[in-house]
A = this chain, B = another copy of it.
Amino acid sequence: MTHDMKILTETELRQVVHLDLAAVDCIEKAFGLLSTGKVVMPPVLSMALKDANAEVDVKTAYVPGFDGFAIKVSPGFFDNPSIGLPSLNGLMILFSAKTGLVEAMFLDNGYLTDVRTAAAGAVAARQLAPKVVKTAGVMGTGVQARLQLQAAHLVRPFDKALVWGRDPDKAKAAATDLTKSLGVPVEAVEDPERLVSLSQLVVTTTPATEPILSADWLHPGLHITAMGSDQEGKNEIDPNALRRSDLVVCDRIAQCELLGELRSALAAGAVQDQSSVVELGDVVSGKHPGRRGDDDITVCDLTGTGVQDTAIATYVRRRLAGTDTGTTLSV
């Protein structure tokens, strides 16, 4: 018995899926389901290839209530730029959660990961940032710096934004791009303290291994989302900032204590144990309150989870229903 499967290239996927409120809602729903405790999310399969200066990661998660589950393969081949290829590739395969049959293959080269990662930032902002954000700040100047600010603007339509980066020229370029795409003034700043003190919402998006945001800069009514750390050894936020916050939220505590800001804060003794930390899904589902007042200081530590991959892949499939985008194969 044959069935149809869809194959989409990155170009096709960029036409079908955008970073918008529907994508954010989809990721928020997945975090809420993570809170039910019924999600099956095995540890990442990781294969380091020293000979090839490469690494291959495989992530997956089964989310009851979603009709499919994704397996994401992310190869990073770090010598590729020397032959004119990008370092990062990758794809997602979507399987039926009822039969295990393959339903679709998304050759996204990491695009869907970019979208689901930024969407998690929007979920964090919606759940944790003050109701009114006049100014938002982003630290970092790469793809996620741009996407995180767009994501934040969907849920907290700020009037103005600030960008800081180690390279001032890159910060200026990002500010120019974002002014156009967001339709509000975005300014590059050279002093990160000024960025934090003027913002009600700050997103950090760097691969820093030493803190770039000092605890001394915290002020009442600030929310910080830290999404750069996703490996042991990375650290963007001064551990004391987590101690001084009213609420510390993780996408997945078991993962953040190994790979995220929580890891650095635990190592520094700034957070005594995980019992004071809350999962984002528990805030989404209402199991735990989020921000309790306008003056609270909140921090959200995002490391990226397999449930987001399964959520975005099933979202793509729904967006495809009734269209002829992509290649259909009878298999």
Contact = CB atoms under 8 A, between A and B. Distances in A.
Interface of A: 1-2, 5, 7, 9-10, 38, 40, 42-43, 45-49, 51-52, 54, 56, 58, 60, 62, 64, 69, 71, 73, 75-77, 80, 83-85, 89, 91, 93, 95, 97-102, 105, 107, 327, 329-331
A49 B60 contact: no
Given A91-B102, A93-B73, A40 B45 contact: no
Contact of A58 (B45, B80, B89, B91): B45
A37 B51 CA distance: 13
Given A73-B71, A331-B107, A89 B85 contact: no
A93 B100 CA distance: 16
Contacts of A51: 38, 64
Given A1-B84, A102-B107, A45 B45 contact: yes
Contact of A52 (B71, B84, B97, B330): B97
Contacts of A99: 77, 80, 83, 85, 89
A contact face: mostly helix, strand, loop, or mixed: strand
A98 B77 contact: yes
A101 to B, nearest CB: 6
A95 B56 CA distance: 10
A100 B53 CA distance: 11
Contacts of A102: 89, 91, 107
Nearest to A101: B89
A90 to B, nearest CB: 8
16 contacts: A5-B107, A45-B58, A47-B62, A52-B97, A56-B60, A56-B62, A56-B69, A58-B60, A73-B95, A80-B100, A89-B100, A89-B101, A93-B93, A102-B107, A105-B105, A327-B329
